[in-house]
Amino acid sequence: MKFNDVDGRLLARYLADECTAEETQKVEQGVAKDVENAQKLKQFKRIWDISEEDHSSMHGVFDTGEQWQQLQSRLEKEGELNRESKRDSFAAKYRSASVHSMTQKLIRVAAIFLIAGLIGVFAYQNWYEPKPEVSETVLREVSTANAQRVNLRLADGTEVMLNADSDIKFPNQFDEDIREVYLMGEAYFDVATNSKRPFVIHSRGAVVRVLGTAFTVRSYEEDRQVQIVVEEGKVSVEDSSAESANKALLTANEMGSYSLNSNEITTSKVDDIQLYLSWKKGYLKFRDKPMKEVALALERRYGVEVSFQSSEIRDKQLTAFLKSRSIKNVLNVIAMSLDVEYELTENRVIFTQ
């Protein structure tokens, strides 16, 4: 036990011989186990003794600011305090207080707060074994807008391609035993192999855990699931809830889906992985995809706003491989495939019958 773990009032009561047996034992055990504690107790006892000596010289008005100056002067002469900052930080708490007819009881109260205050000062100024500070990991955040993709290289060598309308958070330096990132949206990961430090992706309740592999994670705000598709290697997917045993292991050309509604994880085989990875090259590939979902992909890829003249058009399903960088060429392909029309005005697209 260190004195910086002890209430200053308890230590003051000990010096005034007002502790219970249990409290006395607590303080004395701290002294017996640590030489520094014994030295600090000696210092505080001297403060206590001086406060009692000064009581005999007080008559009428008691100015605690003045008394603190006198007390500090006496302590400095004996080498007990030697930092001006301690006087400033403490005297500000007690200056300009006037107490009439100060009794011995109030003197003790003042000394109690004096010692309690000094304990805080010693700890703050490193006179008195401050507890080590625990540094918090600072996360860097990278976000993309529509029509924007970003390539990232993390501190461990992991390559990340962040899709449009996405957000990822990661530290500049990973911990020694784990590599953790936080994703909202969609990203492709080519994870640097390190068997001693798992790579973990947190995404809306799903935890994706790998050692070294290539895969994509999709978790947009409108999605009711977190989708993981593995290109190579192995990936573990689990529920972030500590008490959950829900877990799945995915290998190449497999997909895992974590339901945000039920927290269940389902797995399936993927026969055409480009349906999930084509966005990396700036392409869009769809198979029987409702136009309301195609519209979201177009908005993210080309930075446009898409709307429909009718629900009938919105529910049509599209199968297409759209490789053009020109939004107009892409819209022409969609219009021909679904037998619909479109209007393109600046960044607004409306599909009509």
Look at the chain and count its residues: 353
Condensed to tens digits (0 to 9), the pLDDT of residues 140-171 reads 999 999 999 999 999 999 999 999 999 999 99
Domain boundaries, the chain: 3-124, 139-275, 283-352
Are the C-beta atoms of residues 202 and 179 closer than 8 Å to each other? no
Is pLDDT of 328 > 80?
A: yes
Is pLDDT of 92 > 70?
A: no
Q: Rounded CA gap, 109 and 304, in Å?
A: 72
DSSP 40: H
Other C-beta atoms closer than 10 Å to the C-beta of 298 total 22
- Domain 139-275, what architecture? Sandwich (2.60)
CATH number at 283-352: 3.55.50.30
Is pLDDT of 29 > 60?
A: yes
**In the block, residue with structure tokens 């629900």:** 311
- Residues β-bridged to residue 320: 286
Antiparallel, parallel or unpaired: β 348-352 and 305-308: parallel
Q: Which one-letter amino acid corresponds to residue 66?
A: E
Q: Rounded CA gap, 213 and 215, in Å?
A: 7
pLDDT of residue 22: 77
Q: Rounded CA gap, 76 and 46, in Å?
A: 12
Other C-beta atoms closer than 10 Å to the C-beta of 305 total 14
pLDDT of residue 95: 42
Percent of the chain with pLDDT over 70: 65
pLDDT of residue 212: 81
Percent of the chain with pLDDT over 90: 53
Is pLDDT of 49 > 70?
A: no
Is pLDDT of 3 > 60?
A: no
Q: Where are the beta strands (DSSP E) in 240-328?
A: 247-250, 254-259, 265-269, 284-290, 305-308, 317-322
Q: Which of 95, 198, 111 is nearest to 156 (CA)?
A: 198
Mean pLDDT of the chain, nearest integer: 79
Condensed to tens digits (0 to 9), the pLDDT of residues 191-212 reads 999 988 999 999 999 999 997 8
Q: Rounded CA gap, 254 and 231, in Å?
A: 8
User: In the chain, where does DSSP find H-type helix?
Assistant: 8-15, 21-33, 35-55, 64-77, 84-94, 104-124, 274-277, 291-302, 311-314, 327-338
Condensed to tens digits (0 to 9), the pLDDT of residues 235-292 reads 999 988 756 678 899 999 999 999 999 889 999 999 999 999 999 999 999 999 999 9
pLDDT of residue 103: 45
Pair of tokens at residue 169: 């958070």
